[in-house]
Amino acid sequence: MKITRRGFGILAGGAVVAETLLGNWPMLAQPAAGEAADADKLAAMSLTEVSEMVHNKTITSTQLVKALLDRINVYNPKVNCYVTVMAKEALAQAAQLDAEQKANKFRGPLHGIPIALKDNIDTAGTRTTAASPMFKDRVPTEDADIVRRLKGAGAIILGKLNLHEFALGCTGDISYFGPTRNPWSLEYVTGGSSAGSGAAVSAALVYGALGTDTGGSIRCPSAWCGIVGLKPTVGLVSIRGIIPCTADLDHCGPMARTVEDVALMLGQMTGYDSLDIFSVPSTPEDYVKAMKQPVSSFRLGTPQSFYDHLDPEIDKAVKAALEVLTKLTAGVTSSAPLWDGSPGAGTGDADFYHHDLIEKYGLNYMPPTRARFEKLENPPPGTKVPTAADAARAHQKLMTTRRMIDSSFKDFDLVVVPTTRLLAPKINDSLAVEAKGGGFGGGAGGAAGGKVYDWFAPGGGCMNTSPFDAYGVPAISLPCGFTESGMPIGLMIAGPHFTEGKVLALAYAYQQATQWHKKQPPLTAETVVPPIIESKSSPENK
């Protein structure tokens, strides 16, 4: 597909559109210097800390919302993580929850805490766009099940967060609303597809966020933005009311700045949903309590296949993390293979969902996403078109994988691997590859600096994360170091089905033994936003 100069401009410069669309929420007056410092201090606290303050009545929900809105005013134009800020609705929710606080009627640990949602999660009366021109004006009539649960638990929905269009990429730079920028360095991608979720939490523009994960979309941005993100056991959290990426592989999970925050959020997110065909019955669990269990008896595995093609700085950071974990546990073994059957994937899920959309709306996608579906709708001569039988076989393989994977955890309780094998690319480099029709964001494959970087290629963005979506087991990413240039590196811990407690416990023990989670991005009000540059590799300029 030929991408015109105008097409590439739309690909790279959608932030202008975002700014226009964000203009429908009431902007607050710029705070004075002292007020801004107070807002920054309050916003930088962890979700667990502000939850305790709400319950101790030393802070109100309205104060929390206003502090975050002040920061969003200043920093969202730089980071571009919010698609829609629900200021009016959030302040109204806060007023109601403050009245309940005053009357000692607390709904739970999330009472009065502002969180934000990836913009593929339906919200009644507020648009849910999937970061696509196709859905830019789409307003659902019902909340997703997870939104209903969180509101019932007292959480305040602060807004909707940017993502890689339709969650179909691992960089977060392909969006109708423009690329989300990494708060640690605005030149870099956040990782995707939960790009806005990773950036908003990292930049202290919200206390916690929801992401979705199909090939690594919670864990990749968590790793590259220096936060904590958990993909729970498949079916533990309902995905009804979430725009599907590949439904067989889709998960929804919490993203926050600490392991405690993620554990606290997860406890309010689980529950059987009879109207979600993927939902599974589960026993309610106190994940904060489970997180504090001893880990000295835990046996850890490091499957060698997950350590191939590592960037040297990631290799160094993960080896240092393993030294810490060796002292905390019963030890680490390097010979720990996981079940090596073909993971399989419900590849037909995304195709049939988008086939119906294309029939209704046409190919109204961003250029790289459009190229993918043009090939599906009009396959080149000689291309094998997937059939219903292919999709059924893939689904059968996937179900077999999920039945077999727990048996791999015989000689070890949990596995520990690098979250990603490569470091985050710069936005301009990523967009240049996308403009050529492949690469960084999960397209057909492309090269930048000589490195292949697609979803599943050796060394690719989701090579380490995607198997755990197929396995359907819990996996968490948390910070384990930084590069020489100051960019975060993530460590992933995973276990058998429904072992969230153990996964959280090991992550918490590592967090307590290190200081990585305490570092904050060097983002200030004076930070200059680097330009998006039209690449010379664009077809027009060849």
Provide the annotated active-site residues: 118, 193, 217
Question: Is 225:462 a contact under the CB 8 Å cutoff?
Answer: no
User: What single string gives the DSSP state of each residue in 396-445?
Assistant: HHHHHHHHHGGGG-SS-SEEEEES-SSPPPBHHHHHHHHHTT-STTSSS-
Measured between alpha carbons, how far apart are the two ends of the chain, in Å?
A: 14
In terms of C-beta density within 10 A (0-12 exposed, 13-18 middle, 19 or more buried), how is residue 377 classed? middle
Please state, in angstroms and rounded to a whole number, the distance separating the CA atoms of residues 316 and 467.
23
- Three-class secondary structure of residue 87 per DSSP: helix
Distance, in Å, from the CA atom of 445 to the CA atom of 467, rounded to the nearest integer, reads: 19
Q: In residues, how long is the chain?
A: 542
- Residue 287: which of 49, 45, 498 has the closest Cα? 498
Cβ contact 113:156 at 8 Å: yes
Q: Which residues contact 417 (CB under 8 A, 6 or more apart)?
A: 302, 303, 306, 307, 318, 464, 491, 492, 494
Residue 162 CB-half CA count within 13 A:
37
Q: Contact 218/253 with Cβ under 8 angstroms?
A: yes
Q: At what angle do helices 388-404 and 347-361 cross, to 10 degrees?
A: 140
Question: Tokens at residue 528, please?
Answer: 């200059």
**Bridge-based pairing state of the strands 300-301 and 414-418:** parallel
298 by Cβ neighbours in 10 Å (0-12 / 13-18 / 19+) ranks as: buried
- The Cα–Cα gap between 251 and 173 comes to 21
d(C-alpha 460, C-alpha 463), whole Å: 5
Q: Tell me phi and psi for residue 461, to 5 degrees.
A: -60, -35
Report whether 310 contacts 420 (CB < 8 A): no
Give the DSSP H or E segment for 117.
strand 114-118
Element (H, E) at 392: helix 388-404
Contact indicator for 130, 173 with CB cutoff of 8 Å: no
How far is Cα 443 from Cα 369, in angstroms, rounded to an integer? Answer: 8
